[in-house]
Structure 1
Amino acid sequence: MPLDQELNEDYGEKEMSFLDHLEELRWHIIRSLIAIAIFMVLGFVFVDFVFNQILLAPASKDFATWKGLCALGEAIGKPQLCIDDIKLELQSRYMTGQFTITIVSGLIIGLVMAFPYVAWEMWRFISPGLKRGERKGSRGIVAAISLLFAAGISFGYYVIAPLMVYFMVSYQLSPMIRNEFDITSYVSTLVTLVLGSGLLFQLPVVVYFLSKIGMLTPQFLRKYRKHSIVVLLIIAAIITPPDPLSQTLIFIPLYLLFEVSILISARVQKKRLKAEELERLEEEKARASKS
């Protein structure tokens, strides 16, 4: 059997030139951009709802997070968890400020809503370069990426964002300084926190692929577990008000994410070493049969 035919059967796809790959990538990107544009249009149509009920919601005392914390505080005898009000004052200091925020609001909805489809398009481009066994082992990866992104977005929006907004609004260096924030600054901070959280929750996926190619091991992750705990505690302290409960709400999910990544890395390494051992035994058997 010719070598190129053997390779094609192994990968299960026809051989393509570099230009063919570029053309394929171009169409995946175009379809992804079309999906983002469609959801952007929906964001523009419902811009009032997006801005007032989604983007401004974490700065309201009636937000679900604050209601939940207040109920928890009443249950455990910590009435200080109930807040009276969030005195957020927003201004638009630039002539194009509010129009820019309208565009940004639509873009945010487009990116978030189209993310699963974009991930699927990128996977369709990458998967033909994998062997059949690798594709089989990576089955469900798009669903995992989408679910982790949704979990990260939810965590960032319902936990990190409201705590961060409350802390920044309440923080005062001097009574002579009045907190008045620009709408662009508020929205960019909120979007950075929420989308950053969504990307941070992709850690298990990144660990999975790095472990699959042998660049990352569970031993390495366990070795630096204590360092990771310190880093996560610092992150929790920076982005939350200075109270232990808020910091714990941030720290626990991030730490669980790290521990899950270790388990994933260990499982992948076990399968990879087993496959390498089987391949070695087959090579020895083949050499023995020839001799």
Structure 2
Amino acid sequence: MSDPQHNQHEGTEETFISHLVELRDRIIRAGIAVIVVFIGLVYWAPDIFKLLARPLMQNLPKDGKMIVTDVTGSFFVPMKVTMMVAFVIALPVVLYQIWAFVAPGLYQHEKRLVAPLVVSSYSLFLCGMAFAYFVVFPTIFRVMAHYNAPLGAEMTTDIDNYLSFVLTMFLAFGVTFEVPIVVVLLVRMGVLTVKKLKEIRPYVIVGAFVVSAVVTPPDVFSQLILAVPLIVLYEAGIIAARLFVSKPTPAADSSEAAN
């Protein structure tokens, strides 16, 4: 005679293993998508790096140039940049795989939020990267060149150090532009209210300047370039939460949970 507890334990273990197998398959599919895009772009890796380096090259003094201090840097740095671009391009596929994995555990009203959430998050992240590339980079490099001129110092940088800097900036501004999404989600989940978000505004402003001081170069203008958009986007998130987040009725929640 079989033990019910033993059978239940075996069923739970099988379910856990099946989830792990599905997670592995989703990760593999996402990885394949990135690799396929990377293979399609790898021929143009030097051109992609030149495009990434353009904001710096345009603001270097006459005859200024980038240098390579690592023997393999001239090969691997463009490959890293190309992989980054491939990941950004394939990000919708990666997000879809994440969505497909977690969707079975979501309520119907939560599933309806996923598509606009993914599209808006991806779009805002790209906007943050574009803002960094077209506005922040030229401004910072122009300011740095201005500081170097009186010192008589030659402004050059290693391509690997430059890559680390731009990746940090892309990530910082990409995440910064996600602030409205985070604010709306916090209100939607009931963690915070619009009134509470307004009350903590002074702390957010101070936090924005602290974050910008850590991430950006140590000059006031560069810090303002990150802190001001962060504050503006926080305010935009409050407006969006007030306009688009409606408190669901208990009856609607219970009917959707039953489904």
**What is the TM-score normalised by the length of structure 2?**
0.77
Q: 1:78 is matched with which residue?
A: none
Q: 1:34 is matched with which residue?
A: 32
Q: Check if 1:99 corresponds to 2:105.
A: no
Q: 1:167 is matched with which residue?
A: 143
Contact 2:177 2:233 in 1 (8 A): yes
Contact 2:57 2:65 in 1 (8 A): no
CA distance in 2, matches of 1:215, 1:180: 48
After superposition, give the CA deviation of every residue in 1:125-172 in whole Å (9 maximum; x if it has no partner). 222211112212444222112211221111121112222233334333
* Structure 1 residue 251: Cα displacement: 4.8
Indicate which of 114, 117, 130 corresponds to 1:141.
Answer: 117
Q: Check if 1:23 corresponds to 2:21.
A: yes
Change (3 A) 1:260 1:17: farther
Change (3 A) 1:279 1:152: closer
CA distance in 2, matches of 1:160, 1:25: 38
Aligned pairs for 1:57-136 (under 5 A) are 57-61=54-58, 85-87=59-61, 88-136=64-112
CA distance in 1, matches of 2:253, 2:85: 47
Give the gaps of 5 or more residues in structure 2: 1-13
Provide the secondary structure at the position in 2 that maps to 1:156.
helix
Q: 1:77 is matched with which residue?
A: none
* Structure 1 residue 276: Cα displacement: 3.6
Change (3 A) 1:260 1:127: farther
After superposition, give the CA deviation of every residue in 1:34-72 in whole Å (9 maximum; x if it has no partner). 1111121233111122011x21111243xxxxxxxxxxx
Matched positions, count: 239
* Structure 1 residue 235: Cα displacement: 5.7
Q: CA RMSD in A?
A: 3.2
Aligned pairs for 1:176-191 (under 5 A) are 177-191=153-167
Q: Which amino acid is 1:43 matched to?
A: L
CA distance in 1, matches of 2:185, 2:104: 16
CA distance in 2, matches of 1:20, 1:195: 34
Contact 1:164 1:239 in 2 (8 A): no
CA distance in 1, matches of 2:172, 2:127: 12
Q: Sequence identity of aligned pairs in percent?
A: 28
Q: Check if 1:193 corresponds to 2:169.
A: yes
Q: 2:6 is matched with which residue?
A: none
CA distance in 1, matches of 2:120, 2:77: 31
* Structure 1 residue 241: Cα displacement: 9.3
CA distance in 1, matches of 2:19, 2:181: 24
Q: Which amino acid is 2:78 matched to?
A: T
